[in-house]
Chain A
Amino acid sequence: MASNKKYWRSVEELNENSSIVDTLKSKEFVEEIPTDDFLGDKESLEKSSTTRRDFLKYVGFSTAAATLASCEGPVKKAIPYIVKPNQVIPGVADYYATAIADGFDFANILVKVREGRPIKIEPNKEIGGSTNARVQASVLSLYDSMRLQGSTNKGASISWSDVDAKMQQILNDVKTSGKEIAFLTSTHASPSTAKVMAEFSEKFGNVRQVTYDSISESAAIDAYAAIHGSRALPSYDFSKARTIVSIGADILGDWQGGGHDAGYAASRNPSNGKMSHHIQFESNMTLSGANADLRVPVKPSKQNLVLAEIYNAIVNNVSAKDKNVVNAVKQLKKGGNGAVVVTGIQTKEAQLLALAINNKLASQVIDVTITNNKRQGNDAEVSQLIADMKSGKIGVLFMNNTNPIYTLPNSKDFVDALGKVKTTVAFSTVENETTSKVDYVLATPHFLESWGTVEMKKGEISLIQPTIQQLFDTRQFEESLLKWSGNNTAYYNYIKDTFADFGANKSFGQALHDGSFTVSSEEIDTVITNGVDLAVAYQKVSSVKENAFELQLYTKTSLGDGQQANNPWLQELPDPITRTTWDNYITMSAVDAEVLGVTNDITSNGALNGSYITLKSGKVVLEKVPVIIQPGQAKGSIGLALGYGKKEGLKDEMKVGVDAFPIYKDFLTSQNVTVELASGTHHFASVQMQNTMVGRSEDIIRTTSLTVFNTKDQHAWNPVPEVPYDHSEITVRDENADLWDTFDTSIGHHFNLSIDLNACTGCGACVVACHAENNVPVVGKKEIRNFRDMHWLRVDRYYSSNDTFEKEIEDLENLPAFESYEKVELASQENPEVAFQPVMCQHCNHAPCESVCPVAATSHGRQGQNHMAYNRCVGTRYCANNCPYKVRRFNWFDYANNDEFDFNMNDDLGKMVLNPDVVVRSRGVMEKCSMCIQMTQASILKAKKEGRPVADSEFQTACSNACSTGAMVFGDVNDAESEVSKLKEDKRMYYLLENVGTQPNVFYHVKVKNTGV
């Protein structure tokens, strides 16, 4: 049945005579579509023989042709040398012994060079070299794309010959004007630089040289000078220590130039039943405090009182009141000549008291005859220089390897003073705040491109030699000075020619090969001069007034004084304590945070947000400083790292943090401040949010006390997990506890890595070494915040939820039913026990990752390594989910050649640091620690070529090689003589999460603390 309903499309249809309706009957649109407008020239279009179909044909054909053509591989060129240097064999690495001396870090190193480019820095162990994270990373700073590539005069580039002509004229003018020539330099500690400067002074006269350390140790040097007559630092050998009392000295950090960790770790080995006792009085949680047997959180001002009381008790035999001091004094007396007191309080008086105490103790740990030259700065002279600059006494100012405009607390003063000096010259490797304000910027080479000498410790001189041709148009500071003094010898020849003057114990060639030589030196009188009035010093130290909020400034293991701020490896290195990257921040105690209303929140994706505060000290105001609530921070104190907040000579991504140098008044690391809450939320990029082990320290980090370790059976403090089998308990190492078939690993090599948690200080050098060796990409702050960090090796840090891990376990056991786990989940804020644990792929013999890979991309090798074939991986990430150790890392993006990740892998210069033996992984694949299989394979191949067995010391991984404390030992357990196979039999040996049954090839050693004394 037809319907009579009439459907209409618009009201227009109701209008009977509508032209629109009529038009729409025959056409789709009411108006002509103005195709001519957008097609353009109508005539030529009509004339054209190409129809739309033809056009589509052409498009189709060309697309297909392009696709087909792209199936062919690209033509690759190979360009050999014209004249190959004899010592270079393409594909074989050379090693050169040299030293780093950048004014902040000093170390004897070996540089691995491939085809003429340095790619890795290793400690020169034969002459006692050890490297920290910054030294390890310094090879990347060589390839910094923001380096100075040539010299400039007021912004315009200038050739070296013009520089020489101008300088000659300027220097002669100054000489005739009678004004002074001033040098402001970092600590050189270089005998040959000193010689060059002496020659320069002789020629021009009226030359003043001022050494300036951005992080000053001037107080300690002055104290030493007051007693021993010359400005220097004593050296410390903590391996001889039986009792260490540190008052605010981060002996495992950068205190007095750093490098004390190897000796410290040596005294902490409990194997023969003895180890040193370490008491740390400090306000911030430092590495030293985290490793101490007893840590006492004390405000900076109170540290003075602690020191004064200890002094009084030891030197004047006045008994102390504070129970912690009483204990410390007792321990010091017990330690005899193995006791030592060190302090980081940056006043001359405090340092004098410490020296006096050690003298009274007759401490063998401190050596005042062999001085430590890593810091030589003189704060008084720096102030004097600035004053003289202002009064116009200085005619020309030369600055070498120093950035006072950034690092000086009174940098505005300095900038004013600069204006009063007629000519200012900065020698610098990188562009920085200072180079932008001076007349002449003279580009100097990186230390890996330079010649030099450095005397870090008295009597031991290291040679610095270049490991690459100078990349840019640079000239060494010394070479310039020599030239201007009229000496045209190259600095290399100068060192060689004057080598005989040192009276070295070996030839120049031999010294260059070894990296250092020794010279005999005259003894220093160890007797304290009578002129020092210690009573006055005591008076001053004991009367330090307390302030409501005291700021303790410190340097991070990653950035140090900030001169390598453009180094992405260091920016991404997590702070060992806060586990936060790409930032500095205020560390504050929970009590203070609550009072101020400061919060740390964890967002829904697990990332950390924090409040801002405003920090005031006198006239200096630091706005918007983010805060992290730090367990163990002394109440009423806050911490802030120097070296951040730089703006010049950095890629945008690296401009992070707050510049704390303006608050570093009078070079005092502790300052009285006021704080108030500011608005806004800061986004942190932390890599670890889980702070405690939730009472599972038996599975994760086993700790025990020295007393228990010495007196009780191994089963009591290091039990092997047990499982029921056939109505009885068997250990998981029993073959009946094993579901899997094993293959015979007793023939050939079987690699194991031993990690001694007693020796591990958490310094993070291994993390950077792993970056360098394995081409691990940097992902940037944003991606770290998404927990997409790529570190193959992480150093986990755990706090105890109660005072100690032991009590945490008890808490868990006594947790009432239906009680929340919060009690054991949250870190103790007051003074938790801290433990570090490096975790990398455990190379399980029964690897959970291997059995779940759908494409067999990860599989086990006969030598114990868990292999990862990146090209086979399809990126299901099943393995990462199944890994109980969470050590697998997924490549979410292409990190190389990607502008979104503008780090070293995105520029030609930065790529030169890549290890050619390890592939750069692409997007969508899983990666992880390979146990440096490229290194073990290379060692094996070398032995095969030479037809001999592999020596134990030849097997290394990047991390074990970088470890200065010997915490990581790598080797072949099938070689009964190897160190690692002995460590495997040690009673402290245990496996991480052993009850899972994965049978790892990485094992740990129980952490023993000397607490129960």
Chain B
Amino acid sequence: MGRKSKRGITISDVVSYSLLTIAAILVAMPLLWMFSTSLRPTSESYQLPPQWLPTEFRWENYLAPFDSSVPFVQLFINSMKITLAVTLGQLVTCSLAGYAFARLRFPGREFLFLLLLASLMVPGQVTIIPIFLLMRSLGLIDNHLAIILPGLISAFGVFLMRQFFKQMPQELFDAARVDGAGHIRSFLQIALPLAGPALATLGIITFNAIWNSYFLPLIFLNSWDNFTLPQGIALLTGYMGAGNPSVVMAAVTMAILPVLAVFLVAQRWIIEALTRAGIKG
């Protein structure tokens, strides 16, 4: 405790450094194993004792998923298409609604906002059956729209954007009004350009959630042409898992790469956003 106090390194410091290091190693190990296995020859996939760092570099394992009967490229494209559509859609709908709830006055505003917020309490499993029936009657089974459409709105996203727009100083908008700007122009030319951090936060959180989602694709999609990456990799494991962990791990590594890239680039935003969302509830 008390980071500022000036004392030497105590036993409890040593204990906590050690525990932290052990914990970090334990957390990193499965991912290290994934990566080192992905570069090993298939015959050595199950090699014990395990090698944590790659000793060989069979990069051709990374080509194997593309050569297999699994349409790996298509899976990637499908996931990317759904993820981008949902993310862009949410950025639009959430910034519009967030702005309205934060800065425009209209009758019923508080009620409509609370009603929307209350929908956060409704778990997805409760609404999935009617949504499935709806999509079925629209002929959207095994169609990406069945996943994209329900994803286009987000109560959480509206909440996030509203908080951000509320913090903007009123003077900005007063000045714009004096210059004759209407509400739409104020939104597009003043509020939105300043909302970069909030949009980035929402975009990253949504991108990651949709990129990783499994429940909806599992319910709506049923052909290899339409499957998403998580679906494909889960099935790939079933097909060739026992025989070929190296190739499966190469596929998983490739699937995780976009997440890792986003994390490395936007780490500070992600951590701040999730912390803020967490602290405020």
Do these two chains interact?
no
* B residues adjacent to A (C-beta < 8 A): none
